[in-house]
Amino acid sequence: MQKVSLEALSRQHLERAAASSTGRSSQTVYGGHERVLRQTLIALRAGSVLAEHESPGEATVLVRRGRIRLVADDASWDGMAGDLLIVPDSRHSLEAVEDAVIVLTVAKVL
């Protein structure tokens, strides 16, 4: 069994995001491109955006810290610490309304 401290990773990646020109930092904590399930911790500085893209499969966003906005088509959903957002099956983007840490979970389509 493997144990990961999401709290420690959150602190570490928020510091990296603050120092990064892109305003973000991430680390895959489980899975990867060779697996069906992938979980990635992403830290975003306020105002940072993950540009519009498609998901490679079913996906959720768990907000660990801060506030984010998920936008798809003409709809948007705000999330704050403790919220779980279901990523729509369409092109979407994500913006950090304030400094935020999320865990993105993707189950790729086979």
Among 64, 48, 61, 60, residue whose Cα is nearest residue 8: 64
pLDDT, position 62:
98
pLDDT, position 83:
98
The pairing of beta strand 92-96 with beta strand 84-86: unpaired
Boundaries of domain holding 40: 6-108
Query: What CATH number is given to the structural domain containing 26?
Result: 2.60.120.10
Neighbours of 32 (CB within 10 A): 10
The pairing of beta strand 49-53 with beta strand 92-96: antiparallel
Mean pLDDT of the residues in the chain: 94
Percentage of the chain beyond pLDDT 70 is 99
pLDDT, position 56:
78
pLDDT, position 54:
85
1 lies in a domain? no
pLDDT, position 81:
97
pLDDT, position 57:
81
SS3 of residue 56 by DSSP: coil
Q: Could you give the residue ranges of the DSSP H alpha helices within 1-110?
A: 6-19
Q: Residues of the chain whose pLDDT is less than 50?
A: none
Please state the domain count of the chain. 1
102 lies in a domain? yes
83 lies in a domain? yes
